[in-house]
Amino acid sequence: MDPIRLGEDYFVENNRRVLLVGTNYMPSKAFFRFWEDWNRVEIENDLRTMESMGIRAVRVPLFWSSVQPRVAVSRKFLQRFDEFLEIAQEHNIYVMPFLFVGVCVDTWDVPWRRGRNIYTDPEMRKIECKQAETLAARYANHPAILAWDISDEPYYYAGNTDAKTATNWVSIIYNALKSRDKTHPVTLGFDNNHIVEDTGFQVEKLVSFQDFFSLCAYPIYGLKTPEAHTSMRSTYFTSFFIKFSDVGKPVLLSEGPGTTTTWTSPKRAGDYYKVVMYSSFVNGSIGIMPWIFIDYDSEHHGKFPLDDKPYETSFGILNSQGEMKPPAEELRKFNQTITKIDLGKFHFRKPECALLIPRDYYKHVKTIWPRLFEAFILAKEAHIELGFVREGADLTGYKLVIVPSSCVLRTSAWYALRTYVEQGGNLYFSYGGSPIGSPNPLGPFFDEIFGVSLQDRIAPMSSEQISFTANVASSNPVKLAYPKTDGASCLEIELKTGTEHALDARENIALVVNKALGKGTATLATHPIEYYLSMMPDAYIGNETFRVYEMLAEQAELIRPFRCANPFLEIGWMETETQTDAILIMINHERMGINPTVSLLHDWHIRNVSAGDSGFSNACKELELSFEPSDIKILNLRR
């Protein structure tokens, strides 16, 4: 078995970039007593099945009570982990252990901790470092080790903390592992709580102590509105999480997709897997590792920890008899298809558009994150690829900057935005709808940037309608309806140099475009339209707010090698350095069939990779396509 290493953008095996396809794993019968009730035969059978499915990696919990039933590291555990690595090596499967568990289906404490804080107690940190150093030293040169995962979602076990404490703790364990193992990368398992609340574990502050970011994504727990598994919000949630976590290090979906077939049908779970896996790849994940390989044996169902968590019984991609469920079939097909793409030859285009993440994001996280998420989906509907940029970063490399339903910006940001527009940038800012007395993002140069005279902030109608008075990338009249505006305000303005593009229900100005400041364009939405959308379940069926974003793309003259009017179709574009070969990855994010037309800028010969075609068609520029619900297509283009 050849060692695998982490490259700049993917894992590398035998000098070839690979998208890692793996799974999380606990045996069905042993379950959380994985290391105590050791069953080599069961483990060998499971890993043999994984190998037959093309699975190349497993993420496994090193339960703290198994590793250190007393303070010293257990010899018996080490012997069994040696044996596990031996089995994995026999089946050509890499292993990513996560430490200090901590949490895994339930919380698992060690009796000798006696309530001491694992982040700050000096004696506990010595014990933790000793475990990390022991494991890292023993396995530093083992070819089956993929990476060290410091802990899985530690805040569920040890609680939320402040950013300074969290960063310090991660740095201590990171350095302990690196002191004994300079070969294998180190990461920490984040779940989606770190984007929807302030756990203290912030990617921006941890970037120096992560060789890659490890994500555990569950929209079934994270979404604000009730959504079907295969709705756009549900299937884009993981991709948003990946983009948000891209702060200069690779990002691995190390626990996802994941859903339980007690909450949805096996067929719908398979469709969810399919869409999320391809979308995760398009949005930058360096691998896919679902939770979890196999359902737990029924002997555990009426006992702790599953008795009060019936949903946890059925997250497996295999049932407890070892039979593949639809998610397993989709994972196998995904692996077979993705391996046909040469990741050394094809690369995704660098985004020309930035979504601005406020510096004070975590101070107001519950208010801010849904607005950013809606903006991400709207950009996808308009076929705009986004880079996520933190407030204060250099914006000069972006043609378009989006600041959606903004609630909080610092004064320095307004100086930067004015300079950005003056120098030729295209800015979109939608007012955040702050109630009186709450944070308000408006700052210096607001009137100058948008060519208006601000009068006041006022209450919107209880339900709002915005009607366009100018073309918005469409010859059809556009009217946008928002049935809820709870807790919001909107702006009352007068025009100066800006041009009216839309009116609200009271015929106040709702959208302004200003081209009078320097070389750029500034667009203002006086209503928090992304916030309005965030309160609407299934908002994207029938709502055309994405037309605003299409207008922005046209104004900014974004370079897009294709055009598509269908908002449900996500399109990922990969190309070679010479731009004479391309890969088109198309994903239907809704649970309905669609028949989109994709128009290409050039004539291309086309080969359907997902259908297994070997030859190329005659050259063409128009693709008339048909997609089943949650369907995907991958085309190879050549000219």
Look up residue 179 and give its two tokens.
Answer: 């002191």
Burial of 171 (0-12, 13-18, 19+ CB in 10 A): middle
Percent of the chain with pLDDT over 90: 92
What whole-number distance in Å separates Cα of residue 536 and Cα of residue 233? 11
What whole-number distance in Å separates Cα of residue 425 and Cα of residue 447? 17
Could you tell me if 293 and 31 are in contact, meaning their C-beta atoms sit under 8 angstroms apart? no
Helix H or strand E segment including 66:
helix 64-67
> Considering the chain, what is the average pLDDT of its residues?
95
Output the pLDDT for position 106. Answer: 87
Output the pLDDT for position 437. Answer: 60
Helix H or strand E segment including 354:
strand 353-357
- Whether the pLDDT of residue 34 is over 70: the answer is yes
Report how far apart, in Å, the C-alpha atoms of 372 and of each of 252, 357, 560, 587 are. Answer: 21, 8, 23, 21
Output the pLDDT for position 438. Answer: 67
Output the pLDDT for position 595. Answer: 98
- Whether the pLDDT of residue 614 is over 60: the answer is yes
Q: Which of 20-24, 35-39, 221-225 has the lowest mean pLDDT?
A: 221-225
156 or 393: whose pLDDT is higher? 393
Rounded average pLDDT over 172-179: 98
Those residues with Cβ within 8 angstroms of residue 215's Cβ, 6 or more apart along the chain or in another chain: 189, 190, 191, 192, 238, 241, 242, 245, 251, 252, 253, 254, 255, 256, 285
Rounded average pLDDT over 253-272: 97
Output the pLDDT for position 473. Answer: 52
- Whether the pLDDT of residue 472 is over 90: the answer is no
**Which pLDDT tens digit goes with each residue over 289-304?**
999 999 999 999 999 9
Question: What SS3 class is residue 496?
Answer: coil
Output the pLDDT for position 102. Answer: 79
What whole-number distance in Å separates Cα of residue 61 and Cα of residue 97? 6
Percent of the chain with pLDDT over 70: 98
Look up residue 271 and give its two tokens.
Answer: 């469709």
Domains of the chain: 4-339 (3.20.20.80), 350-556 (3.40.50.880), 562-638 (2.60.40.1180)
- Helical segments of 388-486, H only: 411-422, 446-450
Report how far apart, in Å, the C-alpha atoms of 237 and of each of 51, 176, 224, 377 are. Answer: 29, 34, 11, 9
Look up residue 162 and give its two tokens.
Answer: 């402040």
Residues in the chain, total: 639
**Which pLDDT tens digit goes with each residue over 332-369?**
999 999 999 999 999 999 999 999 999 999 999 999 99
Could you tell me if 556 and 399 are in contact, meaning their C-beta atoms sit under 8 angstroms apart? yes
Output the pLDDT for position 618. Answer: 93
Output the pLDDT for position 571. Answer: 98
Helix H or strand E segment including 405:
strand 400-406
What whole-number distance in Å separates Cα of residue 482 and Cα of residue 510? 13
Those residues with Cβ within 8 angstroms of residue 395's Cβ, 6 or more apart along the chain or in another chain: 354, 389, 401, 416, 420, 425
- Whether the pLDDT of residue 470 is over 80: the answer is no
Query: pLDDT confidence of 435, banded at 50, 70, 90?
Result: low
Query: pLDDT confidence of 279, banded at 50, 70, 90?
Result: very high
Look up residue 626 and give its two tokens.
Answer: 């048909």
Rounded average pLDDT over 471-491: 82
Look up residue 509 and give its two tokens.
Answer: 């100005």
**Which pLDDT tens digit goes with each residue over 117-134?**
999 999 999 999 999 999
Query: pLDDT confidence of 478, banded at 50, 70, 90?
Result: confident
**Which pLDDT tens digit goes with each residue over 512-565?**
999 999 999 999 999 999 999 999 999 999 899 999 999 999 999 999 999 999
Output the pLDDT for position 452. Answer: 98
DSSP string, 461-494: PSSEEEEESS-SSSSS--EEEES--TT--EEEEE
**Which pLDDT tens digit goes with each residue over 217-231?**
999 998 988 899 999
109 or 11: whose pLDDT is higher? 11
